[in-house]
Structure 1
Amino acid sequence: MRKLFVVFKKIIPICFLLAATLSIGQQKNNKLKKNLISSDQIELERHFQILNSAINTVDSAKIYNDIASVHLKSKYYLAVPKYDSVRYYGNKSLQLTKSDKTTEGIQQYLRSLNRIGNAYKNEGYISKASENFNKILNITENISNPSNFYEARQSATTEIASFFAAQENFELAINQYTSLFEYIKDKNIDEKKISAIVFLKFGRFHRKIGRMDIALQYAYKAKEVATRNDSFIRVAMAYLELAFIKFENHETKEVDLFLAKAVDLLKNPKYIGLLAEYYYIKALIADRNTNVFEKIQNAEKAFELLNKQTVSKKHITVGNLLYEAYKENGDFQKAIAIVEDTRTLEKIISNNEELKKSAFSEITRRDTNIVFEQNKSQTKSNVILFVILLFIMAVITTIYFFKDRQKKIRLSMIIAKKNEQLKQLNEAKSQFFSNITHELQTPLTLIAGPLEQVLNENKEPLDPITKGKLQMVMNNTNALKTLINDILDLSKLKAKKLKLNAQSTNLDTFFNTTTQKFIQLTKQKDISFEYCFKDLEDFHAIVDTKKLEKIINNLLSNAIKYTQLDGAISVLGTLTKKNQLKLIVKDTGVGISAADIPQIFDRYFQTSDTTKPLEGGSGIGLSLVKELVELMNGKVTVESELGQGSTFTITMPVKKATTKLSENYSNTEFLNTDISLDHLQLETEFKVKKHTVLIVEDHTEMQEFIASILQKRYKLIIVNNGKEALEKLQTNTVDLIVSDIMMPVMDGFTLLGMIKQSETYYDIPIIMLTALAEINYKLKALTVGADDYLTKPFVSKELLARTHNLLERYITRKKIKAETIAQEDALEELLTKTDDETNVLTSIDHRKHTKTDIELIAKVAKLIEQNIDNPDFKLNDLSEKVFLGERQLRRKIKLITGLSTKKFQQEIQLLKARRLLEEDTYGNVTAVAISVGMDNVTRFSKLYVARFGKHPADYF
């Protein structure tokens, strides 16, 4: 009896569990509705109303297709989906457009085939569905303008491929997409039209049959296309597919990375299917790591999310995984429960198939009723006659409206063409300003460079009057440089390439420092200047200080320009209750007329007021202010009255900094430092010029200027382009090359590439000296192999310092290389003398610098940079990563680079520091030094000046 009681005790809970799971299945069926939801019903009524006013067959066909789409959408919640209605209205659209050869007519015909095919597919009639989708392929095969109908072909191909994939015939599924790619190539269709889904499924089918390389390639393509089209949900799908591939390749770290990126895009709870996929992969990872707890936790989340969707085979897969997890954990009751739940879901899937069959019966019944009603209506002759008269009237009306519509279409095409021409003209204007600013860099360099030489390198001191005049020229040169940078910023804003670089800043200190620069200017005009920054004491905010400084500079410059003697200017900065920064710049100047105020922030605006004197100006200052403020999510307004002055008000949101990451404009440790290059031992005159420098520059005056800087120290060869440079290299020994980029015949990038590919010249150091300051040009040059990149206008001492350092390294490398060759020759001689020493010397590497050596150094540099701020990363860690002993690694680095291991590491640190400084990544020198692993800031500054000839603080 006791044993019988124990058995019943175990069976009763299981019975309750079975009843509960069956109840769950019943609830899922109960969620299915009988009628369309109200929003779909409203949409249908709207389409029928539009149908009454349709003026031609194509418009009517489009509306019938829209009605079919509403019915097709109802499959997600109806107990018996309206597939008969989908086919009924789809066939109506087919009848209307079967003879229409216009682009719109063919598109609606293909769309009808797609709707009917989808209806058959959802009912399980695969052969009929395939028949409709194959019709789409046949129609688009020989069409005159295939690009207009590519979307239909792509959709049909995807559906047919999915049929083969459902049968696990992945090779045939892949062939469908291969045919699509061949079609795109043969018809010269833009590859950008290919959907991310196509690449995603094509890669997935390859993954299913174990072709991981191809799967990975197309998963990345899918991510690229989805990113370009701003489809974040498809980006998430691509990341999940990449995670699957990496999981099957046992690349755990990359799996975690892609999963993290995917889940970050799936914050919206409506993407429960993809979230379920995410947790399913997490459960598989836990299973591989034998972490039963995480396997249960993630599988439960996946199963819970899937239960919120229509029942599918994915439920069964996840349910089986969850069953294994419970069994491994010893939770046998839960395991039994999940098995029963899975069986219930399988029954639901089976029931859905039965629903499809009953839906077909309903279709047959409705079709019969339609035929009956049509026959009945045909018996009434008087109604037919009335209908014919109505039809004739409708035809006449249609012809009238059709001609009117054609006229409107032609007019709209003319307007669209004019708009396109205006757009192109505007783009050409913006491109012109961008190009001209680059061209201005060269003459600006030729003004600023010699001026700097006269002011700083003159042996005898200049008299005060001459020096004052020259300083005035230098000040205006700097103003011109600022104007050029403003135009470049406007071009970047137009192209949406200007980005914010926000950082923690003490607003009180920043505003005080920025406004104090204008005190001297206001004194010169006897203008009263007051500024107050209420509530900003010790307030640290996350803002882009460089762009905010440009805003203030432009507003104050305008205020000083248009304010008369004995006038007044005031600046007020405060925080509003909504935590917004409010900045007010007020002056008592000439004011702005009411007619000009609406256009005052337009680019290149000049007043048309004839009563005002000609004021000049570029018309970009206030435009730049407005666009920069809007870039920072702010707003700028102006209030003005002629003769009374103007008030500019800026409001923008500011985020309070949680930590004081930097103290911009208050860190004076490196400001106003007198930079000296004495330690470089650059004598003013060299008695013996040991080195030869090749200058490649097409601008005659720029050639003379560069030569004036270098000729005291080096022998010079000057050529006009890259082709002439290559010819000179064949007949002359050159130790360093200084080259421009934009040149005729052969540009600097081509020259750089040919030199770095040459076995004879590849080790000659090259400095790219150009007006192209954008980061993408700099990265391209450094990637190809440039040793340094200097932008115009440049400082003479900086060019000298960089030239000196590169030559020192070049000579060191040549010396070590020569010594190594001599040692190798000696060793070879020893080997030929005696056989007794052979066993001792055969382990020594006798190779010269090869491609392998270069790849080794590149790998070492990359590892050092990746661990640049890791104090625990030592030489033994590095040697393990490259599979060499410490001693051997030291010798390799010395042999190839001419530097010790420590010096090589230091070089990488300084190069990274220069990149961070030029890109304005941090707010001060201390942050840059720490980020490259140098805690001693003073030592870092000295090393940086010695390497590049420019103090780090100068970047701020």
Structure 2
Amino acid sequence: MRYTLTLSLKYLKICIPFLLLFQSISVLAQDKKLDSLKRVSVDTSVEDSIRLQTKLYIADYIFRRNLDTILPISKDVIQEAEKALTKGKSPKTYKKLIVRAFNNIGYYFSKKEQQDSSIYYYEKGISMAQEIGDINRISLIYNNLGAYFYRAGNYKKALSYYDKSLLLAEQHRLNYQKALALNNIGMLHRQQKDYDKALEYYNKSYELQLSRKDTNGFALANNNVASIYFYKKDYKQALHKWKQSLAWYEATKNKRSLAITTNNVAKAFQRLKDVDSALKFFNKSLALKKELKMTTSYALTLDNISQLETQKGNLTTGEKLALEALEIFKKKGRIKNLEQTSKNLSILYTKKGEHKKALDQYKNYINYRDSIANKLSKKELIEQDVRFKYTTQKLRDSIVNENKIALKEVEIKNKSYQNKLYLASLILALIALAGIVYFFISKRRESILEVQKQQEINTLKSNLYTNITHEFRTPLTVIMGMSENIKKNKYVDDSVNTIKNNSKHLLKLINQLLDFSKLEENKIKLNYKRGNITNYVNYLVESLSSHATTHKVDLKFKSEEQIEMDFDPNSISHIITNLISNAIKFSPENSEVLIESRKLIKNEKDFLELTVQDFGIGISEEHQKKIFDRFYQVDNSSTKNYEGSGIGLAIVKELTELMKGTITVNSKVNKGTKFIVTLPIENKATDEFHIPAYSGEKQKTRKSIKVNSNIEQPLVLIVEDNKDIAKYLTHCLEDQYRILYAENGEEGLKKAIEHIPDIIVSDVMMPKKNGFELCEDIKQKEITSHIPVILLTAKATKNDSLEGYTKGADAYLTKPFDQEELLVRLEKLIELRKKLQSKYALGETIENQLNSKNENVNDIFISKVISVIKENLDDSSFNASRLASELHFSESQLYRKIKATTNSSTSIFIRTIRLDEAKKLILNSSLSISEIAFKTGFSDPSWFNKTFKEKFGETPNSLRK
């Protein structure tokens, strides 16, 4: 039925809600009705919010055919909505429109594969949606972000956004968003070929859409369920499901979905070897796709029908259809489809006996395949190679078989020498052809593998430089910060020593890079000297003992005998120092690291065996095979627990092999690791090596972090595993703040719960629990949710800061940071906490503040506290201790939490709730003042009168009058 918009603009305002409903079902369905929407969008007599909403409907409708239209329309909506906001018009209405527009722009850039712009606009949309409590749109944007990362192949990131969308949808009963998220998570599992898991999520989505009575929704979900059965090769069940969807789409006259589902039904019949039924449904789908101008999809169906006609022996029909599909794919630039269709044509021409055409099409197939080879994954390349070899073999076999038949007939007719010579020549030609094809395949595979190997090396090198620059940032932070102390003539001696230590660390990193560069260019030359290597190793162990003591690890050295041999002191120092430093780093506190030296005999030759063994976290078998590879790191995440550049062990291996030795590793996860270095013992060097005397000087015990005892100053919890950074932060803050210190995230969380600090400053990369995890825990726990968190990190990328903010961080500073900036951030966050206190200021408005729909963790906590107090309102013995017990907090924890959020003590907070309730009873009940006092927990009416007057400025009797 056709509808025509006949309402005059005079009555448009009155009928606008009906108009929008009408447009959603009818106007958007037909192009000619688009004009009606456009007229509404430019009609100044229509309410601005309706006009802008109409513009967004237009964008939603036409972007499917022309994506570029979405950008100017959405920007125009934002501009007009912002003007409306400046005029004081309904903020929530116009901000909702801006959120939708931001979502559209994010979608536009995601389709254009412009990641930074896409994420930027999506996040702007989320931020504004959070501001107005538009949970529905936040959930949708999370789904869109997930879809973007899914298309980009970042499935882990995609899943995190789908999970966020699902969580919001479940919490707020948003069934459409929930069904969408479930469907998308199912799609992720399908992509990773976890079909059982995919089926589980698709079925959940289907059930939800069914309950919503959304025909298109449950038909789509049903189609996805069918696809999983198809992938699992349960073609009968897939066919059954697709036929169900077909009936629904026919009832709703959804031609586009009908075309696609009909095609799927045909595929199921094809797999069930019911060729006639498959052809019937493919032809139905073809007609629909032609009508709807689904050109590319139309060509794909042509190709499917061509294959079936070829299978039935209708080679001429099959050829005609395949050539038509080929032309469409050429116009559309669909290289992948050109590759497949060329291969199909090659097989078809082989069956027709037209071998020249078959070879021509096969050459086309190879050319198309080459053009997309670099875009294929390794797995796809292997599969392509298998198919390539199989098809080539079939083609060669076909040619050989047909020529054998021809030659046999010739042989029967004439067995002359000339024909035998012809046969021999032909066979030699075929062998030569096979050799050429095989050579081509081998070379192509070698080329592909070389490209992949180079790409892997480039990626690993990039990780190396990222990690090295990250390691530079920490000592630079300390050096720059301590130099400021010297300028101010503060902590001069301490600062000089700290600068010296961190400068040595930087020099070590630089030397490591130089050594690595020399090794790559084969420029390192060994300088062999003769000496007692046992004593030298002992000297190196002793020089690292203070470092081990700092980490609460015990170093032990054992040797069966004194060994004299030739060795390069610099190389031995590098190997031993690196292995022991790693062992200390990965060892738990109060454990030990064993270093052993002994002589062994192999094949009648003497060797030195050095072992370094720890009892720490261990290395998995998977990583043991790669830890000596250049650039490789066991943990390459942005928040790994143990820092490093990824080249140390590679250098150790190179140096060991340069000295004609070997290095191996034995390790078990959570039980420890042993490195074994074996070097040949020779005594040919003329120069002697004298071991330097070891002074035995220990590092001075680090002073504990200073604690300011001024109770009036805010308490800052510093969580940082690097003692020098912690010391610098203490110097920055101790004049204005009390300091509490923890050396890792796990300890930081315990201290945060125990002491309830006013603010937390935490590093990101720490052992046991990193800063992101700590921040997330702090923000999720009732007792600590109000505490602002500043994250410090040496990782300077945008993605790292975004991850910090998604975990709830209130500020994110990159090392090296400016002291003034840190102090300003702290001051502003303390001010924000005071605003939180004013929100929960004690008075009649406190519960009104909590009645908003956008409850956060603090709202929930205060609501719970008030609820418990009210439950015990008439119990005069109910006090702070009882309240803490009811809430499962210690009394001191509860005091600090309530003080931080309301700026009031627990006892005063309880009394205020009692007085507020008493005031309500005075105004709204006929109870006597004494009865009200007892009912609200005051055992002494005179005390009740006094406290009531202090709070409200008048006595209970005066208020009642």
Normalising by the residue count of structure 2, what TM-score does the alignment of the two structures yield? 0.30
Question: RCO greater where, 1 or 2, for CA within 8 Å and sep 6 or more?
Answer: 1
Normalising by the residue count of structure 1, what TM-score does the alignment of the two structures yield? 0.30
